[in-house]
Structure 1
């Protein structure tokens, strides 16, 4: 850069410096008018003004004193404003947009003040280009630091907030004798209607970015119920969520499964809807039982576990050794784990669910009626008696095999 241009840049900086107070007001007013997130209360607004002023002062120092980019850091007021932005759950995109809008306004000021210097068109353009490049480089460097400050504060604030929230929720879940009014005060929400709880977790070994998306994934539950969930992060891999409403929540299972299909690392266990404070607790216990069933690994590719479908298995999951032994006595060789026997068990389950109708079972399984007839007779041979004998025991044992993965290998 030529000595003459150095001098011109300094002159422009001096002109802007002389009007800095009014220009700061102009810029902050623009932020408030254009960006809704900048419409703060008085205390945060003062911090926003201080942040803007400190950045403008740093830019002018850079232009007047030729400060190296290596020496540029985020001004303290700007760093504190970024942290406050994160604490108020305001978007990083809005903060970065302000910096770009401010950069554009600063260059407009430069062009205005250059007119006072009576430069040639080429000199004015060259000076504008030079200052724009310097300001852009400053903004880029400061933004890089701001992103780190914002994201670190967001994580820290979320962790602190979630820890307090999780403690409150656990107290409501576990404290005996807690009355409704006290529970509502602790959670700052009404517990008088209906509740539907879900546990959302990332599979073990999931990458950090996937685990970090757990809170956002609770929106999947909201989309499937049409209600915004109450959510907390129970730990780095697990999120708890409740849907609450005056009427009984309705879950769109098909939509929930579709949404989960887009997030292969996530699993969801859902309780049954239940009313009141007791219901808030019961539906969560249901979801815990459904997750216990998922933890058996009997259905590794399955993403959604509804208590309504696995409730009985959830009651048995804490007694797997005893249940396996009992199921073995009930089913005998029908509990083997080879492919052919698994197919027989599935056919018997459908047949019994179809109330003993070969035609109905065949339609459900998309096979010929004679195929169902053959498999049922084969299963009865393995049992040593007709399916009509000890039917309830057979159905429960088959359910345990299917939902808890209870089998034994040949010769075991």
Structure 2
């Protein structure tokens, strides 16, 4: 495992240890961030034998240093003196508090957007810029939101423990949404030189497995795990050796992970029909239809369109409409899909995905100048270097072969 991946995995675990022991979530999170920075500088040259214990010890020392600072000496004198005197290197606790940390970040004292942002930062390890991109807001705005969320946890007097069952159920929706966003950022990185980030998808799947074990009677948790497995099964086929994206229609399906597909379908089958299907079960069902097709041409697009129509009624969003437009085009022709896109500019105008889909549908319709212009618009908007290369390549190909 690369050092960056290891740090991302350990960060929420160490934060959980500090928050459970010392409280003051905001101060603990700052201390962990400082420890992560020190580790990133030191570990390439001197890797500790127990990385979690090392991070915990360093973060704990940073926390004590903050509490002993001149400005806080009097207010926190009693707390500092009460802390353990020995902050030396010791074996780290075996328990993984990440799930508890997720429920803490989803405290009802915070607004839903703040819950999501804080959990993505503290548990998912996403940068402020990555979270801002996921929410389509400026980075500065997201930084302020995360800061206020940490202060809100402190003011609410929240303790580091799993909430009782009734309150846990109330927070479950946000927890599921956060896991979904972490996975999506890994599956289609919003920025950088890599199309996908296996560290994020792997961690999202691991955390979702923990959640399913904690709430086995919640069909949507199981549905989300099925969705992740079915989607992640295509990872090996999604990019060429140089990182260039490979569209779903052109992927070598023999590279798809059959074990993940079989597990995902089995999980989905175990929960469908218990009650009205929620959005994660419906998305998993769509992924299952793709997974069961032997080729792109054999895909049951009418069934996918029907599932997207139900999903749009259950959980309407511009992204769902965008995906339904693709299915609509495959069933009723590109003109029908383009008609659905017409009302999405206000909601998705800043995202490159709307332009990319519009370009694809224009290309299907034979409208090559319009397709080329849309591909160029998408390339200008994306922050992913690999996607930009792919989109520019599509535009250049149309420029050389179009009318």
Q: TM-score range by the shorter chain?
A: under 0.3
TM-score by length of 2: 0.24
> What TM-score do you get using the length of structure 1 for normalisation?
0.23
Larger Rg belongs to = 1
